[in-house]
Amino acid sequence: MKRIAVLTSGGDAPGMNAAIRAVVRTGLDKGWEVFGVRQGYAGLIVGNFIPLKARDVSGIIQQGGTVLGSARCLEFKTEEGQLKALRALHQQDIEALVVIGGNGSQKGAYDLWRMGFPVVGIASTIDNDLYGSEVTIGVDTALNIALEAIDRLKVTASSHQRAFLVEVMGRNCGYLALMAGIAGGAEAVVIPEVETDPEALAAELRSSYERGKSHALVVVAEGAKYNAEGLLQYFQKHRERLGFELRATTLGHVQRGGAPSAYDRLLATRMGAAATEYIARGEYGLLMGLVKGEITGTPLEEAAHKKKELDMRLLRLAEVLAK
């Protein structure tokens, strides 16, 4: 009988629980014992394992966050911390580990794999910045939450002839901002991948005003050089040049907290099931991700070290559609 463990690490993402559920139930279906690790790598270091049965993951597919908990763990980035984690895994006779998380989590998974332990990763982060998956778990839900907020803000913006700066999450990746800007009909998008000239943005807002628009909306990625608050402060000195009154709204962690969409539940379930299939075949050191519509394994070394590029053609499309 094989004994496997599953953990969630880094920032929580809607759909993580669906992935946990899929790992547990497909693992049990194979006759394995499945354990959960509480509080990510921090829990792994201290051996915080719990056995998981089919009923333990009942009713969690629709829940946001992660029932196993997550935590940042600086100790795990050290060789000493990683050796503690390995000892804990061996003490529990765990034969394979599934790591659900984003960039930092998969770098940790790669470190364990490099030290000789069988690991399979599952791509989960709302930032969608992880190499090896076109879309990661949590992105669809976070995007729809941002879009709902944008739609609501456009209503009040039109009523008062205002411009809104809407800051979305995404760390150093502009994917969420760009997609929300296109889907939300924004007049401009500010992302880390392209340096934004505040003067050019001011000219764009003024142009929108002069073209008779009743409002203007700028979607700003949190990792951009000028975030929403920075742009607001910059424009306060030149308020009359914009035409519109200007307000800023930061969505923040509300984007992580929603119930996962149908897409995220299905994506997470497919990835969780694929993880146990790869383990059953003895294929480790891989990240489960969506590539051309299929769940595919990408080497963890690539996922940990390669940068995922943003399709800049979409930025040009956003600019055209904003006219």
Burial class for 90, CB neighbours closer than 10 Å (0-12, 13-18, 19+) = exposed
Backbone angles phi, psi at 122, to 5 degrees: -130, 125
- Sequence-distant (6+) residues with CB within 8 A of 207 are none
Question: What's residue 243's pLDDT?
Answer: 77
> Catalytic residues, which ones?
127
Exposure string (b/e) for 188-223, b if CB count within 10 Å is 16 or more? bbbbbbeebeeeebbebbbebbeeebebbbbbbbbb
Alpha helices by DSSP H, 197-283: 198-210, 228-236, 239-242, 262-280
Paired sense of beta strands 49-51 and 33-37, if any: antiparallel
Give the residues across from 31 on adjacent strands.
none
Report the SS3 class of residue 111.
helix
Question: What's residue 238's pLDDT?
Answer: 64
- Sequence-distant (6+) residues with CB within 8 A of 43 are 7, 37, 69, 71
Among residues 259, 268, 295, 193, which one has the least CA distance to residue 18?
268
Among residues 39, 33, 42, 23, which one has the least CA distance to residue 85?
42
Question: What's residue 208's pLDDT?
Answer: 82
Fold of 3-138+260-305: Rossmann fold (3.40.50)
Backbone angles phi, psi at 28, to 5 degrees: -60, -35
Among residues 37, 6, 243, which one has the least CA distance to residue 121?
6
Topology alike, domains 3-138+260-305 and 140-256:
yes
Tokens 């539940």 -> residue: 265
Walk along the chain (323 residues) and give the pLDDT tens digit of each residue.
699 999 999 999 999 999 999 999 999 999 999 999 999 999 999 999 999 999 999 999 999 999 999 988 889 999 999 999 999 999 999 999 999 999 999 999 999 999 999 999 999 999 999 999 999 999 999 999 999 999 999 888 777 778 889 999 988 999 999 999 999 999 999 999 999 888 888 888 888 877 877 788 999 999 999 999 989 888 886 666 777 788 899 998 888 888 999 999 999 999 999 999 999 999 999 999 999 999 999 999 999 999 999 999 999 999 999 87
**Longest alpha-carbon distance in the chain:** 72
State the architecture of 140-256 in CATH terms: 3-Layer(aba) Sandwich (3.40)
Domain positions in the chain are 3-138+260-305, 140-256
Paired sense of beta strands 3-8 and 216-221, if any: unpaired
